A and B are shown apart, each in its own frame.
Chain A
Amino acid sequence: MAEYDQPPLSHPLPPEPPRAGFARGLSGAAVLAALALACAAAPLMADGSAVHRLDADPVAAALLDGRGSLSFALLAAVLGGGLGIGWALLAGLLGTLAGSRAERRTIAAAHRMAGWPLALLVPLAGGLVGPVWLLALVTALTAAPAVAALAHAELSTLMRAEFLTAARAAGLPEGEVLRRHLIPNLTRPLLAAGVLALPRVLAAESFASLLGLGLPPALGSWGASVGLAARLGDPVAFAPPALLLALALWAACAIADGVQAGQRKS
Chain B
Amino acid sequence: MNHIAVHAAAKPAPVETAALTLMLGDRVLLDRANLRVERGQVLAVTGGAGSGKTALLGTLAGQLPAGVDMAGDARVDGHLLIAQGGRLAPRRPLALQVAEVVGHHLGLDLRSSLRRMADGLDRMGVPAAARRFDLPPEQLPESLRWACLFAMAVAVGPAVLLADAPAAGLDPTVRLRLLHRLADWARADGVALVLAGRPEDGVAGVADHVLTLRRGRLLPPNPPRTEPLTPLEPPGTARLHGRGVGMSYPLAAGPGGKSRSLTVLHGIDLDLRTGETLALLGETGSAKATLARSLLCLPPPTAGAVVWMGRDLMATAAPPAAGEARGDDPDRGGLRRARRDLQPLFPDPASSFDPAMTLGDQFGLVLESLRPDIPADRRDHRIDEVLEEAGLRPEAALRWPSALSVAEAAHAGLARAILSEPRVLIADEPAASLSAEERETFLDTLMTVRDRRRLSLVLATERYDEGLRDAHRGIVMLAGRVVESADAETLRTAPLHPYSRAMRAASRGERPALEGDAPSAFAQPAGCPLRRRCPLAREFCAQAIPALEEVAPGHHVACHYWDTPAEG
Q: Do A and B bind each other?
A: yes
A interface with B by C-beta (< 8 Å): 1, 3-5, 8-13, 161-163, 165-173, 176, 180-181, 184-185, 266
Shortest C-beta distance, B454 to chain A (Å), equals 19
Cα distance, A253 to B544, chains bound together (Å): 62
Contact B49 A170 (CB under 8 A): no
B391 touches A170 (CB 8 A): no
Residues of chain B touching chain A, judged by Cβ–Cβ distance below 8 Å, are 27, 48-51, 296, 298, 330, 335-336, 339-340, 343-344, 346, 348, 351-357, 365-366, 369-370, 388-389, 391-393, 402, 405-408, 411, 416, 420, 435-438, 441
B354 contact from A167, A171, A173, Cβ within 8 A: A167
Closest 6 CB pairs of A and B: A11-B50, A171-B339, A171-B336, A4-B391, A170-B366, A166-B352
A166 and B346 within 8 A (CB)? yes
Known pairs A3-B441, A11-B49; A266 contacts B355 (CB<8 A)? yes
Cα(A170)–Cα(B420), bound, Å = 9
Residue pair B298, A4 in contact (C-beta under 8 Å): no
CB distance from A177 to the nearest CB of B (A): 10
Q: Determine how close the nearest CB of chain B comes to the CB of A57; give it in whole angstroms.
A: 51
Q: Are the C-beta atoms of A170 and B405 separated by less than 8 Å?
A: no
* Contact (Cβ within 8 A) A4 B392: yes
What is the minimal beta-carbon distance from B365 to any residue of chain A, in angstroms? 6
Bound complex: CA of A84 vs CA of B392, how far in Å? 44
B441 A165 Cβ-Cβ under 8 A: no
In contact, A9 and B438 (Cβ under 8 angstroms): yes
A162 with B48: CB separation less than 8 A = no
Pick the residue among A1, A3, A168 that contacts B388 (CB under 8 A): A1
- B370 nearest in chain A by CB position: A171
Q: How far is the CB of A74 from the nearest CB of chain B, in Å?
A: 28
Measured between beta carbons, the chain A residues less than 8 angstroms from B27 are 11
Q: Told that A170-B370, A180-B365 touch, could you supply 10 new A-B pairs with CB distance under 8 A?
A: A4-B392, A4-B441, A8-B407, A10-B48, A11-B50, A166-B353, A166-B416, A167-B365, A169-B339, A170-B369
**B336, closest chain A residue (CB):** A171
**Minimum C-beta distance from A31 to chain B (A):** 30
**Which residues of the other chain, B, contact A10 by a CB distance below 8 angstroms?**
48-51, 405-407, 435, 438
Q: Nearest A residue to B416 by beta-carbon distance? A: A166
Complex Cα–Cα for A180 and B365 (A): 9
- Contact check, A162 vs B370: say whether CB atoms are below 8 A apart: no
Contacting A162 at CB < 8 Å: which of B351, B356, B388? B351
Across-interface contacts of A4 in B (CB, < 8 A): 391-393, 411, 441
Asked if A166 contacts B344 (CB within 8 A), the reply is yes
Nearest residue in A to B356 (C-beta to C-beta)? Answer: A184
* Residues A9 and B344 in contact, CB atoms below 8 Å apart: no
- Chain A contacts for B357, CB-based, 8 A: 184
Q: List 28 A-B contacts (CB under 8 A).
A: A1-B388, A3-B391, A4-B391, A4-B411, A4-B441, A8-B405, A9-B436, A9-B441, A10-B48, A10-B50, A11-B27, A11-B49, A162-B351, A163-B351, A163-B355, A165-B346, A165-B352, A166-B416, A167-B365, A169-B343, A171-B335, A171-B336, A171-B369, A173-B330, A181-B354, A184-B354, A184-B357, A185-B356
Knowing A10-B49, A172-B369, A185-B356 are in contact, say whether A162-B402 is a contact too (CB < 8 A): no
User: CA of A1 to CA of B437 in the docked complex: distance in angstroms?
Assistant: 15
Residues of B within 8 A of A161 (CB): 351
Complex-state Cα separation, A181 to B352, whole angstroms = 12
The answer for the CA separation of A124 and B104 in the assembled complex, in Å, is: 59
Alpha-carbon distance between A25 and B352 when the two chains are bound, in angstroms: 30
Per the bound structure, the CA–CA distance linking A16 and B446 in Å amounts to 30
Tell me, rounded to whole Å, the shortest Cβ–Cβ distance linking B331 to chain A: 8
Taking a contact as CB atoms under 8 Å apart, the answer to whether B369 and A163 are in contact is no
Enumerate chain B residues within 8 angstroms of A173, measured Cβ to Cβ.
Answer: 330
The smallest beta-carbon distance between A104 and chain B, in angstroms, is 10
Complex CA distance for A188 and B330, rounded to whole angstroms? 31
